[in-house]
Amino acid sequence: MALRDILILPDKRLRQVSKPVAKIDSAVKKLVEDMFETMYDAPGIGLAAIQIGEPRRVVTMDLSKKEDEKQPQVFINPEIVAESDEKSAHEEGCLSIPEYYEEVERPAVVTVKYLDLDGKVQQVEATGLLAVCIQHEIDHLNGVLFIDHISKLKRDRVTKKFIKAAKLAAKDAAE
């Protein structure tokens, strides 16, 4: 396992659309291990492979509380096959947009079809935090960030803040 760097806004790779996984081989399993190590270290509850610079349709999640036993989940090539008309709003954050949180409205219930690590087709009806998290991570696979679901004014403000921080960091690194 290896700890990987998480891409931070405004990194353009976060806008890439990830490619489907054709075969679940040792490289994919190693990627999943690295993703869990990185996600737990961050700490976060979900991570899309693109967030560590791998444009592949792989998502890791663990919604367990810190004091509880870990419940790692892997979604390979996940796709939303149904969603409710009913909406639900939750405060979201993102490891690629650190320390920024905003309320986002999404479908309250989604049905997601995906492959597990054994390559078997699975389907889950997600509600609550699972629904929010899986939609957030699938958005990443499609080059969409949670800030794309908020007002243009707020999105522009946070984007400018992260562009400025990236320029400062580059300047400091050059000195």
Catalytic residues: 137
Question: How many alpha carbons fall within 13 Å on the CB side of residue 103?
Answer: 3
What one-letter code names the amino acid at 108?
A
Q: Six-digit token pair at 89?
A: 């709003």
Phi and psi angles of residue 73, each rounded to the nearest 5 degrees, phi first: -130, 140
3-class secondary structure, 13: helix
Question: How many alpha carbons fall within 13 Å on the CB side of residue 53?
Answer: 9
- Report yes or no: 43 and 4 within 8 Å, Cβ to Cβ: no
DSSP assignment of 57-105: SEEEE----TTSPP--EEEEEEEEEEE-S-EEEEEEEETTEEEEEEEEE
Q: Six-digit token pair at 171?
A: 């300047």
Q: Six-digit token pair at 120?
A: 């078997």
3-class secondary structure, 25: coil
